[in-house]
Amino acid sequence: MRRTKIVCTIGPASEDPAILRGMIQAGMDVARLNFSHGSREQHAAWVSTIRRLATELGHNVAVLGDLSGPKLRTGSLSKDTILLNAGDAFTLTTESIQGDWRGVSVNFPGLPAAVKPGEAILLNDGAIELVVESITGGSVRTRVRVGGLLGSHKGVNIPGRALAITAFTVKDREDAAFALAQEFDWLGLSFVKNAEDVRVVREWMSESGADIPLIAKIEKGEAVQTLDAVLAESNGVMVARGDLGVEVTLEEVPFLQKHIIVGGLSHSIPVIIATHMLESMTTQPRPTRAEVTDVATAVLDGADAIMLSEETASGRYPVEAVRMMARIAAHAERGIDHDRFMTLARRDRGVPGAVAYAACALADEVGASAILVPTWSGETPLRVAARRPVQPVIALTHDPRVRRRLALAWGTTALSVSEARTVDEVIATSIHAARTAGYVAPGELVVIACGQPKQQSGTTNLIQVVRVA
């Protein structure tokens, strides 16, 4: 059973129900809907189709909504792409224009005040580099230093500049309200700078009377500097290597990726590695050897999930990309050093964390076939999974929202059970569900880690070793 989960971005290449079905069958665990693209009508239709297909196929698939955030972007172009050559003059303007080879609009009114002559501006995740020559009114005149193809609505980065922009924009609030109404399972926060950016969204949701677990996307230099506080405030974290790679030097990115994975594990929250993982499969049926190594490295480093972006949103081979990623992950997992993850320093101290550690150690000691985790909130399975046990983690819950959310958790299979009222009933129901689903067999030992049923007070404080009847 593959342990590392696969996140797939949905777009024009994957909106056909037949393609979505193929992606689920190939291994998609989480469907990512990017609010920077597409309409709410499209997103609502995708959510409905994904959930219908997941039910038909008997797969647990979560839906992740990715808020646009305050990303600086170019405006529309008069054609699909334009070619910028080194040495060309090119203007960025805050005025609304139809862009062409001479210039393009940007969505940040403060751009002219944020840059100075001689400074660099990067477009399209750093693929194109401009140098500021002069500033007049709302226009920034530049010279192309590194050319390339530019499409509409591509990212604009100003390296080394901390811009005074709120992380939770008006559009984000509207999209978040839509996500709440559609019962999205996770919500990604773009361009988080600090823990306060996460708290603002959480407080807004609390006032709305609803709650979605929040994933902080690490793509700003400020977020790296305040990483531990951001992780403590978040329910998950994404290493967004595209924008991060233009905020810091390129050679830093691999080490930051490892650092963020360890940080997420220490807080027992899921970690997603994103951007350019199998990028060549956007146009080719096979990845490069370097891409395969990149995916395998993320798996070996302990990431909960690995993500496909353009590969499944706009690429020619969306199903094949998912299938390839699943193959790479399953093979790489043979080399995971489970003991190393058990000994990592933890921030989730206290009884729940201690019980999660003890459940993993006990399962290894007695040769258990699985760790069963009855759960009401989904927190205990995440704590157990963060220890990366050899045994599969089987989460049992009566709440369909919790079940879907756990589709993102490493090594975790979430099953639906009826709500139990006593500890004995919890244990019996859990074993029956795991046995019926084929994850455990009569005569095998299982470790059960849980707390008191919801009707009683208490936390995760019970461990039992049970032989399956």
Q: Is 116 marked active-site?
A: no
Residue 129 DSSP code: E
Strand, coil or helix: 434: helix
Active-site residue among 91, 275, 282, 375?
275
The single-letter code of the amino acid at 257 is Q
- Tokens for 442, please give them: 């009569």
Catalytic residue among 154, 217, 383, 404: 217
- Please, which residues have CB within 8 angstroms of residue 238's CB and are 6 or more apart in sequence? 188, 215, 216, 217, 218, 271, 272, 273, 274, 307
Concatenated DSSP letters for 306-357? EEESHHHHT-S-HHHHHHHHHHHHHHHGGG--HHHHHTS--S--SHHHHHHH
Burial class of residue 240 (count of CB atoms within 10 Å of its CB; 0-12, 13-18, 19+): buried
Alpha-carbon torsion, ordered 433, 435, 436, 438, to 10 deg? 120
Q: Is 32 a catalytic residue?
A: yes
5 a catalytic residue: no
Of these residues, 40, 51, 73, 141, which one is catalytic?
A: 73
Within 8 A by CB and 6+ apart from 21, the residues are: 53, 57
CA separation for the pair 322, 271 (Å, rounded): 18
Q: What are 378's two structure tokens?
A: 């989904």
Q: Exactly one of 32, 220, 346, 383 is catalytic; which is it?
A: 32
Q: Give the number of C-alpha atoms closer than 13 A to the C-alpha of residue 135, restricted to the C-beta side.
A: 14
CA distance 308 to 8: 5
Whether residue 81 lies in the annotated active site: no
Dist CA 172 CA 36 (whole Å): 10
Q: Which residues are catalytic?
A: 32, 73, 217, 275
